[in-house]
Structure 1
Amino acid sequence: MDALFVGGTMLRRGLLTPGNPVRIVRQFAALGRWGFGLAGELRQAAARSPRRIAVIDDQRQVTYAQLLHRAERLARSLPVAPGERIGLLCRNSARMIEALIGATTLGADPVLMNTGLSAGQLAAVAKDQGLRVLLHDDEFAERAALVDGVEKIGEARFEELIAQAPAANSSPPERPGRTIVLTSGTTGVPKGARRPTPGGFRPLCSIIDRIPLRAQDRVLIAAPLFHTWGFAGLQIALALRATIVLRRRFDPAAVLDDLVRHSCSAMIAVPVMVQQFLELPEPARKPALRAVAVSGSALPGGLATRFMDRYGDVLYNLYGSTEASWASIATPADLRFAPNTAGKPPYGTRIAVLDPDGKPVPQGEVGRLFVGNEMLFEGYTNGGSKTMHEGLLATGDLGHVDAEGRVYVDGREDDMIVSGGENVYPGEVADLLADLPQVRDVAVIGVPDEEYGQRLAAYLVLRDGETLAPETVRDHVRQHRARFCVPRDVVFLDALPRNATGKVVTRELPR
C-alpha cells in the first residue's frame, strides 16, 4: 500500500519524469549515500538539475551546483567538530541554506535561532544548547557580541571560510548532523527540539499528496527558515528541485511583487502574512498561484474565505507543531466548508481526541488532541519530552473531530480557563471578534479574577479610521456565546506583540 501511494504521488507531482539516465543514477545514488536529510536532498537535486536556479534572494541567485559547491567548502572549514552545535542567527537567504547544509554535511548539529530573540534570551539559548559557534547576519552582530564563550562568524568571515577551504570531496559523516528547532518561547525561554531525518519518500508524499506542490516549481518561502514550517518548506522544495525565492524581511507589497515577477506557483507562509496581504489594495496583476500553504498558528475567523475570494481557492492550512511536525491539512474545499477547520490527517497520520483518562471522547466533543506520524520529534535537547499515549504525542491542544473526520482546534490546554465553574476557550471568542469589520487583529486570554477565579481579557487592534466601544464588543459576544464568554476587559492597542513567526507573545500584553 505504501509503495502504491508513494509511487502514485511522485508520478502525479512530476518526480518520476524521464531524464538523462546518468543524472538519474547519480540522483538516487546521492540519496542512497547521504540519506533524506538536507545534505542528501541538495545533492540529489544538484545531481539531477545542476544548472537549475536553486535560490533567488535579495542579493543573488545560485544554481544547485553552485549551492552545493559553497555548502561543501563551508563544511570543510567551519570551526566545529562532528557532534558539536552551531547556532544560526540568520534571516531567509541563500547564506542561511549554505550554513544549514554545510553544518549537517560536517556532522555538526545546526540550532535554528529565532531572529526575534532578545540579547538575554540569545545568551540563555546559547548556554542551554551548548553552542560552540554562533553564525550570524551582520545586523545581529551587536546582539551576538553579548553572548560569551561562543565563537562568532559574521558575513565577511563566512565568505573567508568558503574561499579558504581546502579542495576535497566531502563524504558522509559517521553521524549525520541533526537540526534543532527552537519552540516559540512565547511563555518563556525557548526549548530545543531535535528534528528527525526522513527515512524515505513517504513523509514528503504525505504532504504533497494534499498540497499540490510539483517538481521544479518556483516556491516563495515567506515563513522564516528557523521556524518549523519554513524549515519544512525548505526540505520539500529541495526534494522537488524547486527554485526557492527568499526575502530577508517580510513586506506584503514586496512579496506580492516577487510572486508575480518570479512567476511563483506556490508560497509557504504563516497566517499573519496572509492576513497582511488582504490589507493591501487589490493588485492589478495577481500571481498565478496553485498553492498558498500556511501553518504556525490558527487562522483568524473568516480569513480563509476572504483570501480565497480574492486569490482563488489555493489556500491550504497545515496544523502541526515543532514536536509533532504535522497533524492535519485543510484543503480549499475544507476551508470553504468550515473556515476554522484544521482539515483531515494526511496519509500515514493518526489523530485521537482523548479525555483526561486517555479514553476517546464521543464525536464532536472537545478533548485533548494526540497525533502519530513518522516525523514526531526525538525529544527536547534538555532530555525532556511530551506526553505520549499508545504511540501518539500530545499536541498540547484541545479540539474535536466532526462527522467527516475534519479536525477543529478549540484552544491550548493551558489557555482554557475556568470562570465561575465553566470551561471557557479564549480562541473561540477571538475568532468571533475577528469577524467584526472594524477589527484588524485580536487576542483573547485568561486573567486572574478574585470572584470567578479567572475571566477573559480581549485585546483588539482596529482598522485605520475605525472606532469601537468596549460595550459593543461585549454585546457582540453576548449575542453569540454564553455570558461566561463575555470579556470583562476590552483593551485597544496599536499592534499586538508578535514574534517573528506571527504568534502573539501573551506575556507582553498589558494586564
Structure 2
Amino acid sequence: MRDDVVEASAVIGHPPGQVWQIVGAPELYPRFVPEISWCEVTQAAERGRGPRCLVRLAPDRDTFVEGTVHAAVYRPGEHVVWCGLPDERTWVSLELRPVPRGGTELILRMMLPSLPEEHSGLASRSSVKALLRALGTRIGQQLSGTPAEQPPPERTTSLRTANTLVRAGVLAAGRPDRMIRQLNSITQWGATVAGGYLAATARGPGDLAVHDERGSRTFGEIDERSNQLANALAALGVEAGSPVAIMCRNHAAMIETFVGTSKLGADLVLLNTGLSPAAVEEVLTEHPPAAVLADDEFAPIIAGVRGDFPRISTWDDAEAGYRTLDELIREAPATRPKPSSRPGRIVVLTSGTTGTPKGARRPTPKGISTSASILARIPLHARDRIAVAAPLFHSWGLAAMQIGMAVRAELALIRRFDAEDTLRTIAEHRCDALFAVPIMLQRILDLPERVRTRYDLSSLRIVASSGSAMPGAFVTAFMDTFGDVLYNFYGSTEVSWASIADPADLRAAPTTAGRCPPGTGIAVLDDEGHRVPPGDEGQIFVGNDMLFDGYTNGTTVSRADDLMATGDVGYQDAAGRLFVTGRADEMIVSGGENVFPRPVEEALAALPGVSDAAVVGVPDEEFGQRLAAYLVLHRGARMHAEDVRHHIHQRLARFAVPRDVYFVPELPRNATGKVVKRLLSDDLWPLPQY
C-alpha cells in the first residue's frame, strides 16, 4: 500500500463541546470504534501538551497491532492529531467544525503507511467512511441518551450443541453396549452429578477419574464407593431433600460425596474452609444437617456446632474420634440406590467478603447443552487431564468438576495450593488444563524463572481462571510467559456464567471479561432498568439456563425480565466485549463524582514494583468520601506515597487519585483468593505502614 491520506466526514447533531467529550478522551475510543480494542493513557494532557497513549488495534480475531501514540496537535473542542511513536508518519486527525443548528462536522483524516498489505483495506476510503458513519452514530446515540442496539444472544440449537460435543469428543463412536449404557444413565439420572459420573462409568469404567496426593480412583471405583456411601448415609437417616454439609479440601472423598449424595437426592451444603467457627455455626443453624462430613483439620470447628447429627471424617490425619468415610464405605452394601424423584441440590455459599455468607441453591443443569455452552468457548476435549487448584466448594472449582465430568476428564485434585507443587502436578500428570483463581496464577507467575523452567508444561493448553478480576499487566505477562493459554471466565454464584474471554480477546484487551457463550445474553442497564447508551456504564444483567434458584434464606437478587443482576457495574465496547469496572456496592461519591476502585486498582497493578493492590472508600469531611490505596510491594522494591499519587494522576481523573496510600505486607483474602476489603479498615487487621 502506498502512503496516502484518506479523508471522510460526518455530521453529528450535537455541538463541538459535547462531541469533544468523546473525541478528546482517548480512553473511551474502544467503546466507540470496534477496531480499537485497547487504549491506555500513559501520560495525561497538560497545558500545551496532549496526552500519550498505548493503543492496540484489533482488525480481526487473529490480529492485533500495538503501538504508542501521542497527540501532536491537541486543541480542546477543536482538533486532535494522533501520531505514532517513534514514526510520526503514521497519524490520524480528528477535527471538529461547528455547523448550523448546533451540530458538528467531524472530519477524519488518516495516514497509515505501516499497515501490512493484508490490512490495507482498513485505510481505504470506503472503509474509513463506514468507520466514521458508525462512529458518528454511536457518538450521537451516546450524547442523546439513546439505548445501545443489543444483538440477540447466540442461540443454542440441537445442531450447534451436537457439533460442539462432537468437536470435544464427548459424542464419539465407541462400543455400542457402552454407548447405550451411557445414554441410559443420563436418561435415568438426568444431568445431575450422579448422572454425569454414571454416564462416564458406563463409557469407561476402568478409566482414571481422580488423582489426589494419596492415590487415584477409576470411574468404576467412584461408582461403587459412592453407592456404598449413599447406603451408609441412608442408614444414618439421610434421605432425599436432607441437607448434608461438607467441609473439606480438594481430594477424592469430596468427589465421592458429591456423587453419593446426588444418588440419594440429598442437598449438599458446601462449607468454605476459611469460615470462622461462628460463621459455620450460623450456616449450619440455617441448614440443619442430617450429617456433616469434614477433614480432620476442621473437626474442632464441627465439634463446636450444637446439634445431634453424625460427624464423619473425610481426611483422617488426626485423632478426632469421628468415624471415617472409608469405615462407612467398607461396612455398607454396594447396591446402587434407585434414582430419587427429587434431584439433590448443591448449595454454594457466597464469598462473604462484605458480611456473613449466604447459601445459594444451584440449579440442576437442563441437560448436556449446559456443558456444551462452556465447551464452545473453552476447548476442552474428552479424556483431558485437568489440574483443579480452585477449591471444589467454590463455584469455579465446582464448575471444573462438572465440566470435567462431561468430558470424562482425569481430575488431578490439588488439596493445598502451592505454586511450585502445582507446576509439578501439571508436569507429572501431563495435564492439559488448569482451573485456578487469579491469586494462584499470580503466585505461579511470581516464581523465579529458574523454578518455572524445571517443569515441562508443554502439555498445558488451557489455564482457566475465575473468581476475581485479573489486572491487565498480569494477563499480558502471564501469556508472554506461558503462551496464549489463558481463559478468563466471568460469572457469579447467582448467574453461573456471563462471559468468557479467550486468549485472542485477552491479547486484544487484557482486562476484558470477554463475550457470551451460546445461549447466554447480557444487558447493561441503568438504575431504572433501561439499556444504557453506547459506551456508558451500568449494572450488568445476565440471562441463561443456569440462573440460581434463590438464597436459602428466602431472598434473591434483582431481575429485569428474564435477566438477573450480577451486582457488578460495567460496559460493552464497540466490538461487543464486556468489561467489569467494579461492584455496584463499592462505588463511592467523592466531591460529587462517582468513582469505582477497580480502574484505580488496575492502574496501580501496572506500577513497577507493585505486587498486589486494593482500593477502598473512606469517609472524608470535605469530599464526603475519598479513596485509600493499600499496596503490597515486590521484595526489595521501594516506593513513596507521592510516587503512587503521581502515577495515578498521569492516567486517571483527579478525583480518582487516592489521598491515602498505605504499604502493607499482604492483603486480607478469603479461602477463594478474594480480597476481603472490609478488613482493611478493621481494627483486627494489622496497622498499615506509610
Q: Report TM bin, short chain.
A: over 0.9
Deviation at 1:286, TM superposition (A): 3.7
**Aligned partners of 1:29 and 1:407: how far apart in 2?**
40
Deviation at 1:143, TM superposition (A): 1.3
**Aligned partners of 1:144 and 1:493: how far apart in 2?**
33
Could you tell me whether the CA contact under 8 Å between 1:180 and 1:194 is conserved in 2? yes
**Aligned partners of 1:129 and 1:478: how far apart in 2?**
49
1:144 paired with 2:302, answer yes
**Aligned partners of 2:463 and 2:438: how far apart in 1?**
10
Q: Which residue of 2 aligns with 1:40?
A: 195
Give the secondary-structure state (helix, strand or coil) at the position aligned to 1:131. Answer: coil
**Structure 1 length-normalised TM:** 0.99
Q: Which residue of 1 aligns with 2:312?
A: 153
Q: Which residue of 1 aligns with 2:520?
A: 349
1:330 paired with 2:501, answer yes
Matches within 5 A, 1:27-66: 27-66=182-221
1:202 paired with 2:369, answer yes
**Aligned partners of 2:387 and 2:334: how far apart in 1?**
33
Deviation at 1:487, TM superposition (A): 0.7
**Aligned partners of 2:515 and 2:293: how far apart in 1?**
39
Deviation at 1:167, TM superposition (A): 4.2
Higher mean C-alpha displacement, 301-310 vs 315-324: 301-310
Could you tell me whether the CA contact under 8 Å between 1:317 and 1:342 is conserved in 2? yes
Could you tell me whether the CA contact under 8 Å between 1:71 and 1:101 is conserved in 2? yes
Give the secondary-structure state (helix, strand or coil) at the position aligned to 2:639. Answer: coil
Q: 1:203 corresponds to which letter in structure 2?
A: T
Could you tell me whether the CA contact under 8 Å between 2:265 and 2:340 is conserved in 1? yes
Could you tell me whether the CA contact under 8 Å between 2:611 and 2:633 is conserved in 1? yes
Q: Deviations over 1:233-289 (max 9, x none)?
A: 100101111000011100010000110110000111111111111101222244121
1:240 paired with 2:395, answer no
Equivalent of 1:500 in 671, 682, 685:
671
**Aligned partners of 1:114 and 1:223: how far apart in 2?**
12
Q: Which residue of 2 aligns with 1:256?
A: 423
Deviation at 1:89, TM superposition (A): 0.1
1:21 paired with 2:180, answer no
Q: Which residue of 2 aligns with 1:110?
A: 268
Structure 2 gap segments, 5+ residues each: 1-155, 315-322, 683-690
Q: Which residue of 2 aligns with 1:192?
A: 359
Q: 1:138 corresponds to which letter in structure 2?
A: D
Q: Which residue of 1 aligns with 2:658?
A: 487
Q: Which residue of 2 aligns with 1:383?
A: 554
Runs of 4+ in 1 over 6 A off after TM superposition: none
1:281 paired with 2:433, answer no
- Percent of aligned pairs with the same residue? 53
Could you tell me whether the CA contact under 8 Å between 1:57 and 1:246 is conserved in 2? yes
1:75 paired with 2:75, answer no
Q: Deviations over 1:36-84 (max 9, x none)?
A: 1101000000000110110000111010000111111100111222211
Matches within 5 A, 1:403-422: 403-422=574-593
How many residues were matched structurally?
A: 511
Q: Deviations over 1:445-490 (max 9, x none)?
A: 1111121111111111110111111111111111111111111111
Could you tell me whether the CA contact under 8 Å between 2:489 and 2:513 is conserved in 1? yes
Q: Which residue of 2 aligns with 1:98?
A: 256
Could you tell me whether the CA contact under 8 Å between 1:91 and 1:248 is conserved in 2? yes
Q: Deviations over 1:142-175 (max 9, x none)?
A: 1111111143111342112111113423210121
Deviation at 1:104, TM superposition (A): 1.5
Q: 1:467 corresponds to which letter in structure 2?
A: R
Deviation at 1:421, TM superposition (A): 0.3
**Aligned partners of 2:239 and 2:200: how far apart in 1?**
26
Q: 1:470 corresponds to which letter in structure 2?
A: A
Q: 1:92 corresponds to which letter in structure 2?
A: N
Deviation at 1:191, TM superposition (A): 0.4
**Aligned partners of 2:287 and 2:467: how far apart in 1?**
23
1:134 paired with 2:292, answer yes
Deviation at 1:187, TM superposition (A): 1.1
Give the secondary-structure state (helix, strand or coil) at the position aligned to 1:76. Answer: helix
**Aligned partners of 2:622 and 2:288: how far apart in 1?**
46
Q: Deviations over 1:182-220 (max 9, x none)?
A: 000111111000001111121111101110111000001
1:87 paired with 2:245, answer yes
Q: Which residue of 2 aligns with 1:317?
A: 488
Q: 1:293 corresponds to which letter in structure 2?
A: A
| Structure with bigger gyration radius | 2
Could you tell me whether the CA contact under 8 Å between 1:319 and 1:328 is conserved in 2? yes
Could you tell me whether the CA contact under 8 Å between 2:610 and 2:633 is conserved in 1? yes
1:178 paired with 2:345, answer yes
Deviation at 1:100, TM superposition (A): 1.5
Q: Which residue of 1 aligns with 2:381?
A: 214
Could you tell me whether the CA contact under 8 Å between 1:34 and 1:172 is conserved in 2? yes
Could you tell me whether the CA contact under 8 Å between 2:225 and 2:334 is conserved in 1? no
Deviation at 1:506, TM superposition (A): 1.1
Higher mean C-alpha displacement, 277-286 vs 185-194: 277-286
Matches within 5 A, 1:293-312: 293-312=464-483
Deviation at 1:329, TM superposition (A): 0.4
**Aligned partners of 1:198 and 1:332: how far apart in 2?**
27
Deviation at 1:492, TM superposition (A): 1.1
Could you tell me whether the CA contact under 8 Å between 1:217 and 1:266 is conserved in 2? yes
**Aligned partners of 1:458 and 1:486: how far apart in 2?**
9
Q: Deviations over 1:396-437 (max 9, x none)?
A: 010000111000001000001100100001011000000011
Q: 1:478 corresponds to which letter in structure 2?
A: H
Could you tell me whether the CA contact under 8 Å between 1:286 and 1:311 is conserved in 2? no
Q: 1:226 corresponds to which letter in structure 2?
A: F
Q: Deviations over 1:4-58 (max 9, x none)?
A: 1101101111112211110010001000000111010000000001101100001
Give the secondary-structure state (helix, strand or coil) at the position aligned to 1:154. Answer: strand
Could you tell me whether the CA contact under 8 Å between 1:295 and 1:319 is conserved in 2? yes
Q: 1:250 corresponds to which letter in structure 2?
A: F
Structure 1 gap segments, 5+ residues each: none
**Aligned partners of 1:119 and 1:64: how far apart in 2?**
35
Could you tell me whether the CA contact under 8 Å between 2:274 and 2:670 is conserved in 1? yes
Could you tell me whether the CA contact under 8 Å between 2:227 and 2:334 is conserved in 1? no
**Aligned partners of 1:13 and 1:100: how far apart in 2?**
24
Q: 1:413 corresponds to which letter in structure 2?
A: A
Higher strand share: 2
Deviation at 1:367, TM superposition (A): 0.6
Q: Which residue of 1 aligns with 2:281?
A: 123
Give the secondary-structure state (helix, strand or coil) at the position aligned to 2:244. Answer: strand
**Aligned partners of 2:228 and 2:291: how far apart in 1?**
17
Give the secondary-structure state (helix, strand or coil) at the position aligned to 1:97. Answer: helix
Could you tell me whether the CA contact under 8 Å between 1:443 and 1:458 is conserved in 2? yes
Q: 2:352 corresponds to which letter in structure 1?
A: G
Could you tell me whether the CA contact under 8 Å between 1:334 and 1:343 is conserved in 2? yes
Could you tell me whether the CA contact under 8 Å between 1:440 and 1:463 is conserved in 2? yes
**Structure 2 length-normalised TM:** 0.73
1:454 paired with 2:613, answer no
